[in-house]
Structure 1
Amino acid sequence: MRRVLDALYDGAAWLAALFMVGLLAMVWLSILGRQLHFHVPGTDAYAGYLMAAAGFLALAHTLKRGEHIRVTLLLARLRGRARRALELWSIGASALLALLLAFYSVRLVWLSHRFHDVSTASDATPLWLPQIGMALGCVVFALALVDEWVLALRGRSGIAATSTRHE
């Protein structure tokens, strides 16, 4: 199971990187268009869609590498059971919030598809298409936080052990 989860987090990171390359292509196209006096409609909107997808898809991978900024001012002063209890509570609360975000992100995609919602920009893109990246990223991030919470419950080191360097 560990290999599957790690592959999922890495796959989401690779997909985020691919979207970043797409974002770069949109920026280059926009710059080239300005220099050569042509305009490709929708490049700004697509750059935004790609940036949002890349950001959300990278969340889980970043978390699992201990690269999220955590405020551990109080946690660093605690020891033993108090520290473990606070760590479990904070990861658990984060997981619950991420699960809510994932639920409502998926719901947004579904509603946008159901009601045929389109972008108000000149591209008129069906909004459920770019929203998929956000929803997928939120689902994988919520899964990563639940994974971390289960690891913390079992007493294994996860983000708690790797992120104290950000104090």
Structure 2
Amino acid sequence: MARLIRRGLDALYLAAGVGAALCLIAILVLIVAQMLARWTGTTFPGASAYAGYAMAAASFLAFANALNRGAHIRVSILLNAVPARMRWALEVWCFGLAAAIAWYFTYYAYWFTYWSWKFNEVSQSQDATPLWIPQSVMVIGGGILALALSDHLLHVLIKGDHRITRDLVDQSMGE
């Protein structure tokens, strides 16, 4: 059962990373379409707003995958300089605090999105997109990050070490 959950979580983190990559491709397509529209003398109303939504979605969807691949900033030099027991305590404290903040953010982002939906808020730009749509991606990405941080916290508590793969840049700094 634990192996199935592990594979499911890893697939979720990877899917979020793929979703972030697709959002970056969508930004490219939107910018090129806006350029073509200008060159042909037509307009593409809302293109910049859609690109902004895609950028926010790419950011939030990429958080968990980036965490698992070691792309987030960590103070490894401090963690490597302390004894093993102190390192474990620091890892628990860092993952615990980060998970609590991420869950707190996700909770309030959910309610923010809910009230945007409830009051039918739309963007102020030409596209008049219902704001709950791009905001919901923020909630999903924040929830996946909170889940990933909680996953790492549990792994540190149970196994004694996190599951973050070491980035090549981190390895090349003499650690």
TM-score (norm: length of structure 2): 0.88
**Which residue identity is paired with 2:67?**
L
Cα deviation code 1:28-87 (max 9, x no counterpart): 111111222211100000000011001100110111111111123432321121111111
Cα deviation code 1:2-40 (max 9, x no counterpart): 011011111111211221221111111111112222111
Kept in 2: contact 1:64–1:158 (CA 8 A): no
**1:75 corresponds to:** 79
**2:6 corresponds to:** 2
**2:106 corresponds to:** 102
TM-score (norm: length of structure 1): 0.92
Note the residue ranges of structure 2 that are not aligned, 5 or more in a row. none
Kept in 1: contact 2:69–2:164 (CA 8 A): no
Q: What's the CA shift for 1:130?
A: 0.9
Kept in 2: contact 1:113–1:126 (CA 8 A): yes
The partner residue of 1:20 within 24, 37, 42 is 24
Kept in 1: contact 2:67–2:164 (CA 8 A): no
Aligned residues: 167
Kept in 1: contact 2:116–2:131 (CA 8 A): yes
Percentage of pairs with the same residue:
41
Q: What's the CA shift for 1:157?
A: 3.5
Q: What's the CA shift for 1:156?
A: 4.8
How far apart, CA to CA, are the structure 1 residues paired with 2:138 and 2:116? 13
Cα deviation code 1:121-150 (max 9, x no counterpart): 111111001111111100000000000000
RMSD in angstroms over aligned alpha carbons? 1.7
How far apart, CA to CA, are the structure 2 residues paired with 1:154 and 1:95? 16
- Aligned pairs for 1:1-167 within 5 A: 1-159=5-163, 162=166, 165=171
CA distance 1:161–1:76, shift in 2 (3 Å): farther
Most deviating of 148-157 and 40-49? 148-157
Note the residue ranges of structure 1 that are not aligned, 5 or more in a row. none
How far apart, CA to CA, are the structure 2 residues paired with 1:161 and 1:47? 31
Equivalent position SS for 2:159: coil
**Which residue identity is paired with 1:45?**
A
How far apart, CA to CA, are the structure 1 residues paired with 2:153 and 2:165? 13
CA distance 1:37–1:98, shift in 2 (3 Å): same
